[in-house]
A and B are shown apart, each in its own frame.
Chain A
Amino acid sequence: MGRTAFIACIFLFLAVVACKKIMPGAPELGEIVAGPIAGLSSAQMNKHLLGDAAFARVYTPEDGLGPIFIQSSCEGCHIGDGKGHPINVVTRFGKPGPSGFDYMSGEGGAQLQPRAIDGFQGEILPGSHMFSTDRLPPLVTGLGFLAAIHDSTILNLTDSLDADGDGIKGRVNFIEPEPYTIFNPDVHLVNTQGKYIGRFGKKAKEITLQDQILFALLEDIGLTTVQEVEDLYNPQTGTLATDNVADPEIGSATVDNLLFYLRTLKAPTRRNETDPDVILGEALFEQIGCVKCHIPTITTASSDIEVLSEVVIHPYTDLLLHDMGNVLDDGFPEGGAKGSQWRTPPLWGLGLAAESQGGNMYLLHHGQASDINAVMSYHLGGEATSAATEYFELSPLEKEQVIGFLMSL
């Protein structure tokens, strides 16, 4: 073989290996949490991608990060849009006061920002605190669907007086809106005290997704916005010691893109749903009463984003507060939610938790439960006692089937 032919063969070989077969393929749809809802228009997809970039952007001190903060990007806590890792727990603290709960704002409360940019000092938990609570960052996919559920749908699921006598007392967390809260007449109702139903956050403290975003930008990253123009500072080291970047540190377009991004992230895709054991597990999940709070099916209201409008979804939540008993009582009230009351977390995406948590599972609000059995143990003592007790009375095979079902979500 001549030299020229030899060289030609090498380049031909390289051309062959350049084919798609040696390029990494896309994961199966159900293997990853992140991704847009199918059916977005090209313009909507463009805005989604702008929001995706804003979500992934890492902020520096020059961009307005801090001066005190928890993380430097949204993605840093919500890795791959999935459930957060314990290295990113958020700590809140406070103590009972003479006129209600004291969120200790004069000492850096209610949320701890332990990190700081150069020249500043992060906060430390003040010695006088009575309660501190750790919160793991939640999965952020499917939030657009939850935002599109009408308040009346949530109200219809309430049973605050336990009229049916099943021991489950779902109630809404009525929240006083922020001055900038934007209401959606297709979704929101107002009560006689001018309060609205909270639905986002571990204790349903936030009424709208935008409120949640604005809170996280300020309290987690230290970024001021048009709505929240006052920068954070560490009162433990000096009042009004803020950074040197003009406020607002990010513009309304960025907030808008972030909001659109979170609204248009797909709901987690189910896996193995036709597996006979998964089907049996689903039936057992219903039989032992878990579905009284983890409502499998809800229909959204009409929405300005077509793919969110009047859609049947399977979030496995009622978005209501439930008393989970002393074991889960963190002593930290939010709005009308007491220390032991928690919003039913959506279970969709539960089976993908380990995919964003480094291969392990850190479940419940604080990440202290490493598997479903541990989660069920935490359910003993409150409104879920009956369901959890029945779970532990199942045979080992039946428990496996329930777990198999939950892992398929």
Chain B
Amino acid sequence: MRVARLALSLAACAVTCSYAAAATPGRANEAVASAVRGHAQLAQRAYRDAVAGLHELEAEVQEFLAEPSRTSLEAARAAWIQCRDAYGRTEAFRFSGGPIDDIHPLTGVQGPEGRINAWPIDEAYLDYVAGEPKSGLISDRKVPIAESTLVSRNASADETQVTLGYHAIEFLLWGQDRSRDGPGNRPYSDYLRGDPVRDRRRECLRLQVQLLLRDVTYVADQWTPAAGRYVNVFLGLPSAEALGRALSGPATLAAFELASERIGIPLSTGMQEHEQSCFSDNTHRDIASGVESLALVLEGDGSTTGLLSALNDAYATEIRDRLARALQLAYTIAPPFDAIITSSEDDPRRRALQALSGELLGLAGAIQRAGEAARVKVVVGGGG
């Protein structure tokens, strides 16, 4: 078959080199390469921290299941809050062709994000809810509670039918949030031994924590240099391509995930269940740790340089200023978030969230323009 060679080579590059517009000149190239190496180190540390947090959660959940009580349930919940923060600080590594949510270029394995962080949740798919005491997988004794069940049923028919991840665990620890001024209030007695349904709930929680730990460990491993790992692929990319990928993560997290999905939607729909951590009322921390992850990826962590070091000074300054304002606004969000969702149009808390959303959209725009100046394509993706 006769083929248009010029056109074909352009077309092929659209897939393999989707983020690099052209090669960058020499001195800038070294700054880019150094930022790319730093990015990989930051990712590895951030995911290792998330794994460490999950080990704590696993230990507390084991203690809780061994001896269910108000105190041990509180300890397990506190461990969830802690480990959730650590995971939040990894989120800017999403949306960038990495092992968390994309297909591994060597193994073809789909990243586990959908098993880790799925929300919102149709609670009644997993366990009882108000008015439906026998609803959900946990009550359905025809189906075994096993790893295969939880994995195969997670978002397999509908995205809200979630059986796995932080928010499924959150629901099992807190239960439905039926109040405006506090979190869910599931009794520890839901986990007492000796009843078939309660035993299933115990096993479900145990397995969920185990699978979450395994999945996040997989991602941490992929950022740890060794043969066949994603990080080796990433560091072997042309540095402009690697920079474009890396910048697409924070740009998408800021504009789509944080500004639109997690702030804009709850504010515009006024729906309580549209807050991310709706059972624990921890949404303010989800947002703050997400902004922290933007800062981590862009500014670095003190010992390791972030992506800003590869960008033009004027853009870097704008991005730093916006990050500082966004962090300040994020830290002022007062829980519970659902009270802000249902607040009036002129409520100052609502205004502050809208300002944060605007700051994050501006940040994403600045990242895109900085990318253009550095001749890399920053993709603001979204959905999924």
Q: Do A and B come from one complex?
A: no
User: What is the interface of chain B, defined by CB distance below 8 A to chain A?
Assistant: none
Q: Which residues of A contact B (CB under 8 A)?
A: none
